[in-house]
Amino acid sequence: MITASPAARLSPSAPDWRDLWRSAVTDADELLRMLGLDHLAGMLPPGDAGFALRVPRGFVARMRPGDPRDPLLLQVLPQLAERDPVPGFVADAVGDLAAREARGVLHKYHGRALLIASGSCAVNCRYCFRRHFPYGEETAAAGQWRQALAHLRTDPSISELILSGGDPLALATHKLEELARGLADLPHVTRLRIHTRLPVVLPERIDGPFLAWLQALPLQKVIVLHANHANEFDGAVDAACTALRGAGATLLNQAVLLRGINDDADALAALSERLFAAGVLPYYLHQLDRVQGAAHFEVDDARAHALVEAVRRRLPGYLVPRLVREVAGDASKRPL
């Protein structure tokens, strides 16, 4: 019997993801023009305040033209409200700098270490909690992983390695291969988890060479997608998810609860249903990290709780994400 490889199910004529990456929209006026929203240009903040607009064209294609409240647009469009200082909203909202153990290694929770694998993202999300993180100094890939792997070797309690960022799938596949070779010396690491937004915002990244790498990894594999709204899915995202599962990965999703984007029970239930249709289970629904510039996205805890309860009344338990907040110094994410 001939079994199709996961890659074979993806279109052979798909454009190279690096070209799509480079051709992302980075100009707010252009984005608004593409959506027929030119009249909003005067309401944008001047300059980029160190966190530029960036969004792949395929993701723009999933936005509703003419709708200034589109839930995908609001995730990427700079707002004047970002410039208002709000007490309690700070640069390092979750204590990342204090949890740093080696170059690019964050270790907060038992058994799991997180590598800041890359400082780049295909999309810049306005609510991002790492928007002020000093990536230049802190990516584990920068020194061919040596420091990070040497550190992990000293701690046999670590059984799960988490690749995060930035977006770890921003790395070239040969960089990931280099990491995999280093992991061969770490018998205590049995699981690799990848937190990424790329299969959703740039599904072309899930190409043949990447899938071959993933499939060959002699570890258990978990991929945590970051999608916040059902509209982020389309046929290309579904195909990427199918291919990832075909390469042996368990797929989970974490979302951030965002005012004006997904803070209603219908949107949250639709997200869970859409995730499951793509073969992805909801994992976490995060309360916003209180990072400078993101206060306008915050939903208070009482409402967050009521929203998740409303979803619970509507959906099977396995489609209800865990509502959590990250609190610096805690031994795990904090359930609400």
Ligand X SMILES: *Cc1c(COP(=O)(O)O)cnc(C)c1O
Site map (CB under 6 A) of ligand SF4, residues 166-205, x = contact:
xx-----------------------------x--------
86: how many CB neighbours lie within 10 A of its CB? 14
Among 18, 64, 100, 112, binds ligand X (CB under 6 A): 112
List CB contacts of 74: < 8 A, sequence separation 6 or more. 126, 258, 260, 261
For the bound state, the minimum distance from the C-beta of residue 95 to ligand X, rounded and expressed in Å, comes to: 9
Contact of 34 with 76, CB cutoff 8 Å: no
Q: How far is CA 263 from CA 120, 256, 277, 304, 310, in A?
A: 28, 10, 21, 8, 11
Any contact of residue 76 with ligand SF4 (CB under 6 A)? no
Amino acid at 46: P
The binder of 292, among ligand X, ligand SF4, none, by C-beta within 5 to 8 A per type, is none
Judged by beta carbon distances under 5 to 8 A according to partner kind, the member of ligand SF4, ligand X, none in contact with residue 112 is ligand X
Q: What's the min distance (Å) between Cβ of 264 and ligand X? A: 25
Could you say which of 114, 123, 214, 304 contacts ligand X (CB under 6 A)?
114
Main-chain dihedrals φ then ψ at residue 282, nearest 5 degrees: -65, 135
Six token digits for residue 200: 């959703």
Task: Using DSSP bridges, classify how beta strands 322-325 and 220-225 pair: parallel, antiparallel or unpaired.
Answer: unpaired
Q: Which is nearer to ligand X, 99 or 212 (CB)?
A: 99
Q: Residue 322 interacts with ligand X (CB under 6 A)? A: no
Question: Would you list the DSSP string of 209-257?
Answer: HHHHHHHH-SSEEEEEE---SGGG--HHHHHHHHHHHHTTEEEEEEEE-
Q: How far is the CB of 198 from ligand SF4 (least distance, A)?
A: 8
Among 106, 179, 201, 256, binds ligand X (CB under 6 A): 106
- Partner whose binding site includes residue 239, from ligand SF4, ligand X, none (CB under 5 to 8 Å by kind): none
- The correct pick among 24, 35, 121, 162 for binding ligand X (CB under 6 A) is 162
- Contact between 241 and ligand X by CB under 6 A: the answer reads no
Distance, in Å, from the CA atom of 118 to the CA atom of 173, rounded to the nearest integer, reads: 12
Q: At what angle do helices 235-246 and 208-216 cross, to 10 degrees?
A: 30
For ligand X, the closer CB: 210 or 283? 283
For the bound state, the minimum distance from the C-beta of residue 189 to ligand X, rounded and expressed in Å, comes to 14
Is residue 128 within the footprint of ligand SF4 (CB under 6 A)? yes
How far apart, in whole angstroms, are the C-alpha atoms of residue 53 and residue 51? 7
Distances (CA, A) of 335 to 280, 322, 324, 332: 21, 7, 4, 9
Select from 116, 100, 215, 101 the least CA-distant residue to 161: 116
Nearest to 309 by CA among 326, 285, 289: 285
Q: List the structure tokens of 183.
A: 């992991």
Q: Tell me whether residue 102 or residue 121 sits nearer to ligand SF4 (CB atom).
A: 121
Cβ-based nearer residue to ligand SF4, 170 or 320? 170
Stretch that binds ligand X, among 60-68, 72-80, 107-115, 292-300 (CB under 6 A): 107-115
- Report if residue 314 touches ligand X, rule: CB under 6 A: no
124 binding ligand SF4? (CB under 6 A): yes
Spatial contact of 324 and 279, defined as CB atoms under 8 Å apart: no
Binding site for ligand SF4 (CB under 6 A): 121, 123-125, 128, 130, 165-167, 197, 226
